[in-house]
Every structure is written in structure tokens, then in C-alpha cells.
Amino acid sequence: MLVAGIDIGSITTEALLFDKDKGIVGYTILQTGADSKKTAEMALEKVLAFPSKKPADVSYTIATGCGRKRADFAQQAITEITCIAKGVNYLFPEARTIIDIGGQDTKVIKVDEKGRVVEFEMNDKCAAGTGRFIEVMAKALNVDLDKIGDISLQYKKELTISSICTVFAESEVISLVSEGEALEDILYGIHKAISDRTMGLITRLGGAQPDIIMTGGVAKNIGVVKALEKALNTQIKIYVEPQIVGALGAAMLALEKTQ
């Protein structure tokens, strides 16, 4: 019994195959680009090539993410909040709070023991505090995106990035550079700003209950993770590939449909 989950995000698209008996068969992550429909089709084609399967071998496909309605080959489209919760429950059954920071939005989700969404808060009106925000700052500082997390951990001075707008925050960062502030201190300030905005969502939910899980591409940034752990005063658990959790949840829901 082979099913598929497709997560079409603003920056990346993930496709995942799940087998009832074998579990995760494989997954792929592609840059979404301008044509999300074509990218979703390519992602499914690529993940099917590994186990030498064809689209006809997939019993059910569910699409999720902001571009989920573009995947017209899927039998159903389900919101990413529901799919993330389902995927996290499969990986971390004890999870009760999920922090998902993607390319364009931040979500904090509370779930029950069965992975059902109890309540959530979402910052989807501005890219501040998201993956896109980090990309803009890395470009402004001319630093490799993959290295900024590690560099920020070397900070010695706690700088504050006060602007909540990505454009104004970029100007603030450039001003800090011109003032001679150290790169690692500026990066720490950027990551702390993301943590502060995420904590605002958590506060609106009445706090976070353990276990706390982080998903999305920003979960790969150790600087953001450590800033959040410091603010929460607890450890955050992260799956080995945090970007595929939504696609995994979509596949799990697809499996339920077949049964």
C-alpha cells in the first residue's frame, strides 16, 4: 500500500512516499520556483524513480502547503497545519506544541495525544521572522545562509533588532554594520528577533507545553533553535529532516483514506 504526500511551500516543495508496512520509502525536496504545479509534478516523479514506481502504483495522494490546490493530480488538498500536526504525531507521539517556521509564515500549533490540532496561532501577514527574513538578512550581510546559525553562536554582545518589518530590519542591520558591530553579534540579534516574534505567538496560545517540536526549513538554523530554547528554557526536538514533516503528515492522512 503506497501513498504520497506533497507539500508545496513558497520556497521549497517536498514529495514523500509512505508504505503501510515499510514506513517512509523516500522523499525529495525541490525549489518551488515560479511554476509550483510543474515543480510538484517533478517532485513526485523524482521520488517515484528511486523505488522504480509509477504514478499508478500510488493508491492515494494528498497535497498540502500554500500551493496545495495547484497539485491537480492529488485526490485531496489539506491545510499544512493539519498535515504538520499529523506528521509530528507520527514522529513524536508525546509532542504537544509545534513551532513551524517556513519561508513566508510562522505557525505555533498545540496538538493532543492523537495529533489533532487543538488550537494554533499564525503570523502570515508579514515575512518578518520567517525563512525569507533570514535570507534577506544573510544577503545584506553577504554571509552564506548555511553558516549564519553557527556564526551567531559565537556572539559576545546581545544586540537588539527592534524593527518588525523585514525592509526596516534590513536597514537597521546595515546601520549596525556601519557602526562597526561584530557580525556574530548582529546575527545573534537577528535570530533573537525571530525568537521574540515566535514567542509572541506562543504567549497568545497561553504558553508551550512539552514536548516541543520544531519543523520547517528554519529548524535547520541552530542560531534560531538555540534562541528559542533559551526563551523557552527547555530543549526543542527536531526530526533529522524537518522540512518533510508536512509531506509526511499528508501521506499519513492519505494512508487513512485508503483504509
Same domain, 127 and 200: yes
pLDDT of residue 129: 74
Measured in whole angstroms, the distance separating CA 223 from the mean position of its chain's CA atoms is 15
Same domain, 149 and 127: yes
Same domain, 162 and 177: yes
CATH of the domain at 8: 3.30.420.40
Calpha distance 180→58 (Å, rounded)? 57
Same domain, 255 and 233: no
Angle between helices 131-141 and 166-178 (to 10 degrees): 30
CB-based contacts of 182, cutoff 8 Å, min separation 6: 155, 156, 157
pLDDT of residue 127: 67
Same domain, 57 and 122: no
For the chain, how many structural domains are there in total? 2
Grid cell listed for 144: 552564506
Query: What residue spans of 75-221 are helical by DSSP H?
Result: 80-91, 131-141, 148-152, 166-178, 183-204
Same domain, 83 and 195: no
Same domain, 147 and 26: no
The helix, strand and coil proportions of the chain, stated in percent and rounded to the nearest 5, come to 45, 20, 35
Same domain, 227 and 161: yes
CB-based contacts of 207, cutoff 8 Å, min separation 6: none
Q: What is the pTM of this model?
A: 0.94
Same domain, 103 and 88: no
Domain that includes residue 197, residue range = 94-238
Please provide the size of the chain in residues.
259
> What three-state secondary structure class fits 255?
helix
Same domain, 44 and 107: no
pLDDT of residue 164: 72
Per-residue b/e over 193-202, b at no fewer than 16 CB within 10 Å? bbbbbbbebb
Same domain, 41 and 121: no
Residues of the chain with pLDDT under 70: 124-127
Same domain, 203 and 219: yes
